[in-house]
Amino acid sequence: MAALAPIWHPSPNFGPRRDRLRPHLIVLHYTAMQSADAALARLCDPAYEVSAHYLIGGDGRLWQLVAEDQRAWHAGAGEWAGQQDINSRSIGVELDNRGDHPFSEPQMRTLEALLPQIMTRWEIAPEGVIGHSDLAPGRKWDPGPRFDWQRLATRGCARPASRSHAATAATPQTLRKAAQACGFTADVDDATLLEAVRLRYRPWGEGALCRDDLIPLLD
């Protein structure tokens, strides 16, 4: 596939990656704003000290705000797979979406074209494509319950949900152990962890922990 040609719209909100770290994660966000133009203005405003490497509009337009080898300010406090300073370890992609409506087809097609190219450049595995809510459970909820993770997984751009039939009882302990093995290592309580796992794999899930919450995480 030919390389994408994003619209270059530089943000002043970036710095060098710390400790010579290379990105091995891609973090997906939603903007939670009314338009891509409003999000673009916010991500480039030094007063807000926030940015991302890319922004994808609902119409499929793609902007690049920060060079990939630089540290954009998109993830904030959080942890994934036992590691912090996610900004130094990741590429941030913002999606123009308020969080309460589906992601558009043009937007998803642009994302599906962008992700493999970033993954190839930095040798990022599908397991390295995560949501903001994955690394910051209880603090962040994006890209939210309307995002189609399974669609990305079928294209090799995210970890697929397991369909394991292993005889493992669903308890807070077994959920935490399986979630940590998949990368959910932030220090949160059982209810917050369950919420984060459901946002990623079972956004329709409700009520008490059940085996269907555990299955997507099993090897």
DSSP state of 3: P
Q: Which residues of 40-78 are buried (b: 16+ CB within 10 A; e: fewer)?
A: bebbbeeeeebbbbbbbbbebbbbbbbeeeebbbbbeeb
The pairing of beta strand 14-16 with beta strand 70-72: antiparallel
Residue 84 tokens read as 């912090």
DSSP state of 13: -
Q: Which residues are catalytic?
A: 94
The pairing of beta strand 54-56 with beta strand 62-64: antiparallel
